[in-house]
Structure 1
Amino acid sequence: MRARERERTLSATLAAEFHAPSLDDFYPPMLFGEDTWWGMDRLMLIRVVVAVLVAAFFALALRSPKIVPSGLQNVGESFIDWVRINIAEEILGKQNGRKFLPIIASIFFATIFLNLTSIIPFLNISTNARIGMPLVMAAVAYITYCWVGIAKFGFFGFIRSSIVLPGVPLPIHFLLVPIEFVSTFILRPFTLTVRLMANMLSGHIMLALFFAATQFFIIDKSGIWSVAGLGSLVAAVGFTFFELLVIALQAYIFALLTAVYIDQSIHADAH
């Protein structure tokens, strides 16, 4: 009877203390500028700091380029050459690869350095885990895709070339045209955005769970539970290295798909 009474008391206490999470619980508090257009929370501040650091790095590395690079210039040029050779020129060829390298490289470096904040102590989350930045980069890629096609084929010519498949019987067009339109002009920016955001958000959640479990078992429980805490700590460290792979892979995929979409826009009449 006493055990049942204690259980009821505990249940009542938990019920009184529990509150259903609201949408506000998923956003960090504003650091400054609340209720203003320039207000920033922690994630927005991280975005600005990372953008400034990346821009400053390349500005310093390339401020006075030499024929034979060394030091910081060598590092900066190596980074850019990797994107140029393995993404831009690989997909678009040399001429178009160099032409669209600034957009592709900007997307790649913004993605990878913003992703890296997910494993940096005291930052602990990629700002790409919130939809704003992935949406902006997807919009840039999508606008570039449309702009290139419209500039080459005209507005209606680009739309027709993108959604009308040659050599298909007329009745089939009534089925394929709506599918191609939705896939090309609606789902494409959506999938770019969600792919990056979902991968970085899920990685953040997994790391948070592993490290939270480590703290709970080792610090809060202690004793025999420390064994479970050590297990969760090993899992957290292992998943951190896996997250490094995801960080690089997501930046590569985002930049690669941007190049692929631009190439499809250039050759919209050849599909």
Structure 2
Amino acid sequence: MELLSIASGSSGNCYYVGNEETHLLVDAGVSGKKIETALNEIDRKPSDLNGILVTHEHIDHVKGLGVMARKHGIPIYTTGGTISEIKKMSSVGTIDDSLFHEIEPDEPFFINDLSIDASAIWHDAADPVCYSISDGKSKFSIATDMGNFDDYVVNKLKNSDIMVIEANHDIRMLQAGPYPYYLKQRILGNRGHLSNERSGQLIKALLNSHIKAILLGHLSKENNFEELAYETVKLELSDNEYASDVREFGLEVARRDRPGALLTVGN
């Protein structure tokens, strides 16, 4: 399996996950053109896509959803609450009902040879989820836009070979920054976003002996920066039982405005 972060941040989120048989997007929060360009760079094209998994309805996750689905006839998989909200969004445009496929958290389903497992998360959206995707040999997990986590989330994401975990903000930067009070409280709350420290704590709970890559995702443009997120998570991962150097885990920051490297596990 392979994973490409096309964009990850407060201004847009989109990831490609696939193998030779099956090709998926997790969210489509950037323009269709940007998605197509990124796919072309890894010798894929939008017409190859077998589905778009949507985590929730916020615009930084669905900006390009309508264009991609309509133009290429791509099925959309998400929860019922998210479908209802997407249908209300004039910015997404009208999407044919036949393209929507309602899913339920904790009820895994297949798209061709890939198993998809959605997990309920805490975020201020209608019915948000994160996703784990497996071919039976490897497991990739993408978990962003959640204000906190518990044992349920840890148990659903554990044993991942590659994972994208939110490291949205530095608490001190957010508190001292220009955001209005209500927005600061929203971000800091249990239905907001993970701080760098909390991200590191979640990652530490998910570490295993076969991790190939960890991407820190959904960094805030105003309340975080790459080096700070990396160093904070690195500190939280100190004294773990698997490695003394986080480079052994392939720890990196997913870029906000451009694709990263194609990450591959197995053939």
TM-score w.r.t. the length of structure 1 is: 0.21
Kindly indicate which of the two structures has a greater share of residues assigned to strand: 2
TM-score w.r.t. the length of structure 2 is: 0.22
Kindly indicate which of the two structures has a greater share of residues assigned to helix: 1
